[in-house]
């Protein structure tokens, strides 16, 4: 990479020897959870990747330098830092050029992972088409990135706060395979079933890896979205979570909250309305995604 960057020793060694590596985002540290749960979760997720036989590479921009792999000290500092930018494709270069600190969204993490040669990325849920997008045009850059950057993204499906049918339509337009893991139903973040049948289903990490390899051999751009359902014992059923989602969406509209402020507000408000249950489920699903991502990365190496 011909830009300011730092690759941790573990990640550098893994890439050099062809060992499996899993990219991890950093917005979950700075914008997704309160301190100290954000630090604890970041470390738990990294531990899940290691336990499954891969090397974690948490990605962030610190003082203008793109870091591929963070030390414990850097994670701790980032978790308590102030004025951290939430960077996506549009503002990632500005963050780096100005020497700012930024946490990477799904789109920015995919860009960084691809630059570093990492082909698998675990996150919580992807962004997508927001409710009312026909008026606001609020559509996450995550979808465009999935359509053009060749990284397999493991998530618990689209976030439940989104317009999920329209999100699927945009992904189809961009040629992104949406693959439910181990079930026919498309999961929706906290819930295992969004009430929609997924376009594709695969039951083994090796099959997901094979699909990624075939995609590359065909010269197709873009990545894959693996919709990995939250473990059954950790889920909040759709019938329980959606009334809270609707209330949070109504409050966001009443307060005029828009653009990048929408998702953090909604997640925080749903945390309050569920008395913390949404955060417990969020941690469980991210750890579950890390495990599957490590299995896919290992299968790709094999």
Residues marked active site are found at: 25, 159
| Among the listed residues 122, 125, 152, the one whose alpha carbon sits nearest the alpha carbon of residue 215 | 152
Spatial separation of the C-alpha atoms in residues 67 and 77, rounded to whole Å: 14
How many Cα atoms sit within 13 Å of 181 on the Cβ side? Answer: 28
Taking a C-beta distance cutoff of 8 angstroms, is the pair 43, 74 a contact?
no
Taking a C-beta distance cutoff of 8 angstroms, is the pair 95, 85 a contact?
yes
Kindly tell me the burial class for residue 295, based on how many C-beta atoms sit within 10 Å of its own C-beta (0-12, 13-18, 19 or more).
Answer: buried
Q: Quote the tokens at residue 169.
A: 């339509």
Q: Which helix (H) or strand (E) holds 286?
A: helix 277-301
Kindly tell me the burial class for residue 148, based on how many C-beta atoms sit within 10 Å of its own C-beta (0-12, 13-18, 19 or more).
Answer: middle
- The residues with which 179 forms a beta bridge, in sequence order, are 200, 226
Taking a C-beta distance cutoff of 8 angstroms, is the pair 229, 273 a contact?
no
Spatial separation of the C-alpha atoms in residues 196 and 198, rounded to whole Å: 6
| Angle 102-49-231 from CA coordinates, rounded to 5° | 100
Spatial separation of the C-alpha atoms in residues 260 and 262, rounded to whole Å: 6
Q: Quote the tokens at residue 125.
A: 């849920």
- The residues with which 68 forms a beta bridge, in sequence order, are 7, 59
């Amino acid at each position: 990479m011909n830009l300011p960057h730092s690759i941790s020793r573990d990640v550098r060694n893994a890439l050099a020897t062809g060992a499996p590596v899993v990219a991890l985002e950093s917005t979950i540290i700075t914008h997704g959870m309160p301190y100290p749960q954000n630090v604890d979760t970041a470390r738990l997720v990294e531990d899940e990747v290691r336990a499954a036989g891969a090397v974690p590479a948490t990605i962030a921009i610190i003082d203008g330098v793109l870091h591929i792999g963070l030390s414990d000290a850097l994670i701790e500092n980032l978790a308590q830092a102030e004025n951290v930018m939430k960077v996506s494709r549009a503002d990632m270069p500005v963050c780096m050029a100005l020497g700012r600190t930024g946490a990477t969204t799904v789109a920015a993490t995919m860009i960084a992972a691809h630059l570093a040669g990492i082909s698998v990325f675990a996150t919580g849920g992807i962004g997508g088409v927001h409710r009312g997008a026909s008026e606001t045009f609020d559509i996450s850059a995550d979808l465009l990135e999935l359509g053009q950057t060749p990284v397999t993204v493991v998530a618990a499906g689209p976030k439940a706060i989104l317009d999920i049918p329209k999100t699927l339509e945009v992904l189809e337009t961009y040629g992104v395979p949406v693959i439910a893991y181990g079930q026919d139903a498309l999961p929706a973040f906290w819930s295992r079933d969004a009430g929609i049948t997924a376009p594709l289903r695969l039951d083994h990490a090796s099959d997901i890896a094979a699909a990624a390899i075939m995609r590359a051999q065909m010269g197709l751009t873009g990545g894959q979205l693996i919709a990995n359902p939250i473990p059954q014992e950790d889920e909040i059923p759709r019938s329980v979570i959606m009334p809270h989602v609707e209330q949070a969406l109504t409050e966001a509209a009443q307060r005029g909250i828009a653009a990048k402020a929408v998702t953090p507000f909604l997640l925080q408000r749903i945390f309050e309305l569920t008395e913390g249950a949404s955060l417990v489920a969020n941690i469980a699903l991210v750890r579950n995604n890390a495990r599957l991502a490590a299995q896919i990365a290992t299968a790709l190496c094999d």
